[in-house]
Amino acid sequence: MKQAVSVGELHQVRNWRIKYVNRLRIVDAGVVVWAVAGAFGVRFGFYEPGNQTRETDYVILSIALALSWWFMLEFWGSRDAKVLGSGTEEYKRVLASSAWLFGFVAVFSYALRIDTARGFVGLAFPAGAIGLLAARWLVRQHLALERRRGLSSSRVLIIGGPFSAAHLVRSLQSAPAAGYLPVAAHLPGAATNAAQSTALSLPVTGTASDVESILEVIAALDIDAVAVSAGVNLHPEDLRRLGWELAAKNIGMILAPALTDIAGPRIHTQPVAGLPLIHVSTPKLTGGKKVAKRAFDVVVAGLLVAALSPIFVIIAALIRATDSGPVFYRQERVGLRGTTFDMLKFRSMRVNADEDLVELLKAQGSGDKPLFKIENDPRVTPLGRIMRKYSIDELPQLLNVLMGSMSLVGPRPQRAGEVALYDDAAHRRLYVSPGMSGLWQVSGRSNLSWDESIRLDLYYVENWSLMGDVLILLKTFKAVFVGTGAH
């Protein structure tokens, strides 16, 4: 449960959207002016005697470009409250609006045969785009801190059946950065005992099914948005009327289907006879997507091997100097579609450490769980403990990536003994190549439970995208640097 927020605090942040959007407008203006003025200064100099006409033309162009850029960010919806604070849509809109603007400038210059300095445009666009993304990220971190305190969030009333409402509450509470703060639940048509026995961690406002009762609850609790979960016991006409009433009061309405762990690109809405039918496409990593992922793996892994080769040599020398055993450790792991391969690591344990694994698992009480991890493992060498904390021992797996048995991003490969304990859901991890990094590594590493790790891996399998791989890799550097959750 979150810490309770006082009524005074709630009234102070009721207009958080206006404050946050205004903050973004100021930040965007600063970045755009910095990028355009900087490009002007680098390309032409801030003062050049004897060329005042050309300089004046580019001053006008710079002002027009900065204003157009700022307005383009507004018109493209990059400051829309629905995309702020979490997810990648905000960043996508920032990049799309910037690219369209400069694309228009290029087409306009070509069509009218205007001699626009390519160096000026070539500097302003990347500097501004990167600056905008960085600034948005920094502002988002501040917003995330506020939302973890229950501030700068939309107060949400959950409407639905007991079990679906409980699931929706848990989901929203697990992602405070999304900006939805459940404050109560309303269970239309539910039996009294069901309402009392549900696992909801919120007060239940009642079980009345009429729209008037729901509107009274909304007014009493000062609700910003209503989330309707699956299994709600409301007549379709009442639900439609509720939507009309909410729209008139400028209160958001959110429909939460029973589908879980499905990302936006797989969801397509098709209106049929006034019904918004939701189509869910089947996840496939074939054809061009498969080629793109493999090409990305080969290029990035090749560059990393070339850049990190001196570190490979140093680590190998340290291992041999502190322990007379082999530098590398090979272990058979299960990969794509159940095939096996030898995974490479820098050896971080004493020689023949695998012989003690069964006894250590029994002593820890986790021998029957499909995650063979030993906390405070006595087999780890002093050097190995340092390597494991920062995942240095995993670097040789870049060679596995180049050979095609692994990918840079994917579910972690496990031993055959672990795979033997899989249930039907966990077997879906084997639908894609195992990875050096993945969602569970950037979400807590070994601090996560097995169920949490599986849920994250299945989400990745179901919703793979190349941009998602890039984002996971960027988050991996942060997770490795902090060293949290490494065993």
Structure-token match 């993304």, residue found: 133
Residue 111 covered by a domain: yes
Of the ranges 87-91, 234-238, 331-335, 442-446, which one carries the lowest mean pLDDT score? 442-446
Give 22's Cβ-side CA count (13 Å radius): 5
Residue 314 covered by a domain: yes
Sign, CA dihedral 242-244-247-253, equals positive
Instruction: Judge if 186 and 133 occupy the same domain.
Output: no
For residue 114, the one-letter residue type is I
- Please give the pLDDT value at position 9: 44
CA 134 distance to own-chain centroid: 16
pLDDT per residue as tens digits for the range 5-64: 444 444 444 577 888 889 999 999 999 999 998 888 887 765 555 555 456 777 888 888
Residue 280 covered by a domain: no
Please give the C-alpha separations between residue 249 and each of 203, 216, 223, 256, 322, in angstroms, as whole numbers.
Answer: 23, 13, 10, 21, 70
Instruction: Judge if 138 and 158 occupy the same domain.
Output: no
Tokens of 71: 């307005």
Of the ranges 242-246, 357-361, 362-366, 433-437, which one carries the lowest mean pLDDT score? 362-366
- Residue 271 phi, psi dihedral angles, 5° rounding: -75, 125
Please give the C-alpha separations between residue 79 and each of 30, 137, 144, 193, in angstroms, as whole numbers.
Answer: 15, 13, 16, 44
Looking at per-residue pLDDT, the higher value among 409 and 268 belongs to 409
Instruction: Judge if 209 and 304 occupy the same domain.
Output: no
pLDDT per residue as tens digits for the range 125-151: 899 999 999 999 999 988 888 888 878
| Residues in a beta bridge with 279 | 268
Residue 82 covered by a domain: yes
Instruction: Judge if 201 and 317 occupy the same domain.
Output: no
Instruction: Judge if 133 and 182 occupy the same domain.
Output: no
The conformation of residue 169, written as its DSSP 8-state character, comes to H
Angle, helices 118-148/16-44, rounded to nearest 10 degrees = 150
Task: Tell me the helix, strand and coil percentages in the chain, rounded to 5.
Answer: 55, 15, 30
- Residue 186 phi, psi dihedral angles, 5° rounding: -120, 125
Instruction: Judge if 447 and 331 occupy the same domain.
Output: yes
**pLDDT tops 80 at residue 92:** yes
- Please give the pLDDT value at position 100: 93
The DSSP secondary structure of 235-301, one letter per residue, reads -HHHHHHHHHHHHHTT-EEEEE-S--S--GGGEEEEEETTEEEEEEPPP---HHHHHHHHHHHHHHH
pLDDT per residue as tens digits for the range 421-447: 777 777 888 888 899 988 877 876 556
Give the number of residues written for the chain.
487
Contacts of 1 (CB under 8 A, 6+ apart): 201
Instruction: Judge if 377 and 465 occupy the same domain.
Output: yes
Residue 372 covered by a domain: yes
**Parallel, antiparallel or unpaired: strands 204-206 and 225-229:** unpaired
Q: Which of 413, 339, 404 is nearest to 372 (CA)?
A: 413
* Most confident option among 45-49, 209-213, 298-302: 298-302
CATH number at residue 229: 3.40.50.20
**Parallel, antiparallel or unpaired: strands 275-280 and 267-272:** antiparallel
**Which of the listed residues 124, 148, 172 is the one where a domain comes to its end?**
148
- Please give the pLDDT value at position 447: 61
Please give the C-alpha separations between residue 330 and each of 354, 388, 397, in angstroms, as whole numbers.
Answer: 11, 16, 10
Spatial separation of the C-alpha atoms in residues 115 and 120, rounded to whole Å = 11
User: How confident is residue 115, by pLDDT bands cut at 50, 70 and 90?
Assistant: low
Q: Which of 195, 487, 190, 485 is nearest to 361 (CA)?
A: 487
**Which of the listed residues 258, 279, 301 is the one where a domain comes to its end?**
258
Spatial separation of the C-alpha atoms in residues 251 and 243, rounded to whole Å = 9
Average pLDDT rounded to a whole number, residues 357-371:
62
**Which of the listed residues 238, 258, 278 is the one where a domain comes to its end?**
258
Instruction: Judge if 163 and 143 occupy the same domain.
Output: no
**pLDDT tops 80 at residue 361:** no
CA triple 233-217-15, angle to 5 deg:
120
Q: pTM value?
A: 0.64
What is the chain's Cα-based Rg? 27
Number of domains observed in the structure of the chain: 3
In this structure, are residues 209 and 233 in contact, taking their beta carbons and an 8 Å threshold?
yes
In this structure, are residues 435 and 408 in contact, taking their beta carbons and an 8 Å threshold?
yes
Residue 265 covered by a domain: no
**pLDDT tops 90 at residue 341:** yes
Residue 281 covered by a domain: no
Residue 216 covered by a domain: yes
Q: Which of 402, 173, 192, 221 is nearest to 294 (CA)?
A: 402
Instruction: Judge if 297 and 410 occupy the same domain.
Output: yes
Please give the C-alpha separations between residue 387 and each of 224, 318, 392, 436, 446, in angstroms, as whole numbers.
Answer: 48, 11, 5, 15, 15
Instruction: Judge if 378 and 458 occupy the same domain.
Output: yes
Spatial separation of the C-alpha atoms in residues 37 and 258, rounded to whole Å = 50
**pLDDT tops 80 at residue 359:** no
CA triple 433-437-440, angle to 5 deg:
100
List the domain range (segments joined by +) for residue 19.
7-148
Instruction: Judge if 103 and 165 occupy the same domain.
Output: no
* Most confident option among 45-54, 229-238, 279-288, 369-378: 229-238
Instruction: Judge if 455 and 342 occupy the same domain.
Output: yes
- Residue 345 phi, psi dihedral angles, 5° rounding: -145, 155
**pLDDT tops 60 at residue 309:** yes
For residue 37, the one-letter residue type is A
